[in-house]
Structure 1
Amino acid sequence: MRRDIQPNERAFSSKEVAEEVGIATPTVRKYGQILERNGYEFLKDGDRRIFVQSDIESLIALRDTDKPLDDTAKDIVLQQKERLKETVQTDVALPDTYENLPQDPNQLREVLMMLANELAATREMNAQLTNDMSELKVTVSRLQQDHHAISANVGNAAQKTNAKIEKLTNQQKEQYETLLEQEKEKSELLQQEIQKLREEQVKEWRLQNDFNRRLEIVVQSRPKSKWEAILSLFRK
């Protein structure tokens, strides 16, 4: 248990320590874990570390060391144990002081002052914790708002994309149907032209056959002269 903390000593949060030491908040947690791993004692509220000035000095020593962090942490732990030994005598004498409270007004006044300081430090710590919780709630609220905004934007973008895809699909379908109808009309016109050509060809064949028959008849009728026979074809 820590015995080197003064009753009115200020307590710091991890965020405040990070600003004081000039390192990131995750680095504060990392240094705290290294110190605890080597036997360092922190004042704690549950699992949360509460830092005092001596703890800040320990973190600065870790920040500025040229040695491996665990070696420096061991040196810091030895220094803390020495400080704790120096405060043992005072802690042992406190029960006698409480037993003599009704008989010694000066000691009673001193103890009351110490309790008042501890109460003030506790109130300050609670105020800091309250502020940290308020900041955390604000941060969580902002993150939730950002999440909702991002989700809404993604949903709107997806909806717009689907609408564009559907529109393009319909346009392509209409264009395909239009082209198909045009090709069908062209095919029908081509069939009609082909039919006309066939009919004209049949008509030409019939006329040629009729001409050949008449020519044959004229030749067989033995006209007076060849030129007269040919001319008779054109007279008819």
Structure 2
Amino acid sequence: MRHDIQPNERSFSTKEVAEQVGIATPTVRKYGQILERNGYEFFKDRDRRIFVQSDIDALVAIRDTDKPLDDTAKDLVIEQKERLDSSQDSHTTDVALPDTYGSLPQDPNQLKESLMFLAKELAATREMNVQLGEGMTHLKRTVAQLQQDHHVISSGIGNSAQRTQSKIERLTEQQKSHYEALLEQEKEKSELLQKEIQAMREEQRQEWRSQNEFNKRLEEAAQKPKGGFERLFSMFRK
């Protein structure tokens, strides 16, 4: 057990240590666990660590190290053991704890300091509980907002997809109508062209018939001996 605490030495809460070292409260706990894992000893109130100045110096060393954290922790453990071994105080001095009323110091100044420490710890605990409550409230609001945003985004994607599908259907229908109109126009043009070709063929057949009739009359007139030339000339005069 540690016995290097000095008379009237001030103790610190986790929150106060975090502010002094310049790290977050969870990081203080993380560094404490690394130190304990390698054999470092903290003053304890049940499972809660109580920090003194030498502990703060150890946390600063962990914070500023360039080596692996476990290696630095081992070095700090060796330093702590050497300091404890060389301590001139052979008796064990425990930090006053909230549930050890029989061992409270009789010195009014020490008693006052212990009570102030307990009051600070209680205030820090209350503040931490308030912060945790606020954090949970904020987290719930964030989750609710994320769920709402997800719903809005999903709805937006669904509406956008529906609008896109509607546009595609309209464009497809327009293209179909345009194609059918062009096809109908081409059909009408083809029918009109067929009629014109048919009329031209009919006109050509009429001309052929007229030419054939003329040729026949010409041959008949040429074959008759009497008055044949007169009739022939009369046909050309017509």
Normalising by structure 2, report the TM-score.
0.68
Q: Describe the SS at the equivalent of 2:166.
A: helix
| Runs of 5+ consecutive residues of structure 1 not aligned to the other structure | none
| Equivalence map 1:167-206=2 (5 Å) | 167-206=166-205
- The one-letter code of the counterpart of 2:209 is D
Greater helix fraction, Structure 1 or Structure 2: 1
- Closer/same/farther in 2, CA of residues 90 and 39 from structure 1, 3 Å limit: closer
- Closer/same/farther in 2, CA of residues 48 and 107 from structure 1, 3 Å limit: closer
Q: Which residue of 2 is the match for residue 9 of structure 1?
A: 11
1:140 equivalent to 2:139? Answer yes
- The one-letter code of the counterpart of 2:234 is E
* Residues paired across the two proteins, number: 222
Q: Describe the SS at the equivalent of 1:89.
A: coil
- The one-letter code of the counterpart of 1:174 is E
- The one-letter code of the counterpart of 2:191 is Q
- Closer/same/farther in 2, CA of residues 42 and 111 from structure 1, 3 Å limit: closer
Contact 1:34 1:73 in 2 (8 A): yes
- Closer/same/farther in 2, CA of residues 115 and 44 from structure 1, 3 Å limit: closer
1:44, 1:228 → 2: CA distance? 150
Give the stretch that moved more between structures: 3-12 or 145-154. 3-12
What is the CA distance between 1:177 and its match in structure 2? Answer: 2.1
| Runs of 5+ consecutive residues of structure 2 not aligned to the other structure | 222-227
2:92, 2:150 → 1: CA distance? 61
What is the CA distance between 1:133 and its match in structure 2? Answer: 1.2
1:131 equivalent to 2:130? Answer yes
Contact 1:21 1:60 in 2 (8 A): yes
2:234, 2:47 → 1: CA distance? 136
Q: Describe the SS at the equivalent of 1:221.
A: helix
1:91, 1:129 → 2: CA distance? 29
- The one-letter code of the counterpart of 1:224 is F
1:230 equivalent to 2:236? Answer yes
Contact 1:12 1:51 in 2 (8 A): yes
> What per-residue deviation string (whole Å, max 9, x for no partner) do you get for residues 115-158 of structure 1?
74564244234213313312321331242144124313412430
- The one-letter code of the counterpart of 1:64 is D
2:133, 2:41 → 1: CA distance? 28
